[in-house]
Amino acid sequence: MLIQRILTAAVLIPVMVWLVFFAEQVIFQYAMLLIVSVGGWEWARLVGFEKTVTHVAYAALVAVVGYILLVTSTLLMIAILSVLILLVWTVNIVQVFQYQGELLAQGELQKMPMFSGIVILPATAIFMIQIHDFDPQLLFVCMLLIWTADTGAYFSGRQFGKKKLAPSVSPGKSWEGVYGGMMAVVVVAYFASGYVGYTGVDQVYFVLLAIVGVALSVFGDLYESLLKRKSGIKDSSQILPGHGGILDRTDSMLSAMPLFCLGFILIKLANQ
């Protein structure tokens, strides 16, 4: 398993670096739509669709919605969309803490996730495309902050974890892990702010945005765990050997990217 994880990461990381820094914008855009479409196929499994044809149809619908958003989006529309998606995530977070361990009967659909996924997934692609349009380095830093939080939480949780964060959803996560991850993020965000050109007040805003955005990323992970537990599925898929599925690797970004995108839009407008 460890060898598989290492080999998969050895392929994925260079591909992602190429997409972010070296690919033409149009290639990056369609790559993001493709990734969330695969995530749509996995999401369909998690919410209770059983037939392959429905998985494919759901993925196609995610792709179509994403394309429509891409060709019609303006900065104002993206800002409004990010607010709406953050409201959806507020409801999702409440569901995480209300979950009592109920499993679905075979074939039973989870109604709200079924509809919300059609918006959350393509919107995430649009947010990442917009941040990339601002500055590819900015998008890379956002991903770096999420990875830093995950790594910091893993090690601090293993060392100090006692108080469970959401035991019925993800028993392995602890508040101590969250605190450790957040501390690591503050350090990385401080130095990364200079890397992307933020100084003075903007640097303070960036660090605060990083803290809140990464806090939200925790709930993206927890919400996917909730969907998997309710559906009795261990991984969203096996498309990434050793890592599970696309959603297993990007769940934190689903909840963090709307806030990051909105924050960067507000910083940009404040500096005009």
pLDDT tens column, 89-110: 999 998 888 886 777 666 667 8
Three-class DSSP category at 244: strand
pTM higher than 0.85 for the full model? yes
pLDDT digits (tens, 9 = 90+) for 232-262: 888 787 777 666 788 888 899 999 999 999 9
Structural contact between residues 181 and 213, judged by C-beta atoms closer than 8 angstroms:
no
How do residues 41-55 score in pLDDT, each as one tens digit? 999 989 888 889 999
* 68: three-class secondary structure by DSSP: helix
Residue 165: pLDDT band with limits 50, 70, 90:
confident
SS3 271: coil
Instruction: Please write the tens of the pLDDT for every residue from 109-151.
Output: 788 899 999 999 999 999 999 999 999 999 999 999 998 998 8
Q: Is 159 left (phi over 0), alpha (psi -120 to 50) or beta?
A: alpha
d(CA 238, CA 55): 15
Query: Tokens at residue 134, please?
Result: 């601002």
Q: Is the pLDDT of residue 12 over 90?
A: no
Radius of gyration of the chain (CA): 18
Question: What interhelical angle do 25-46 and 246-270 show, nearest 10?
Answer: 130
Residue 194 confidence class, pLDDT cut points 50, 70, 90: confident
Cβ burial 202-233 (10 Å sphere, 16+ → b, else e): bbebbbebbbebbbbbbbbbbbbbbbbbbbee
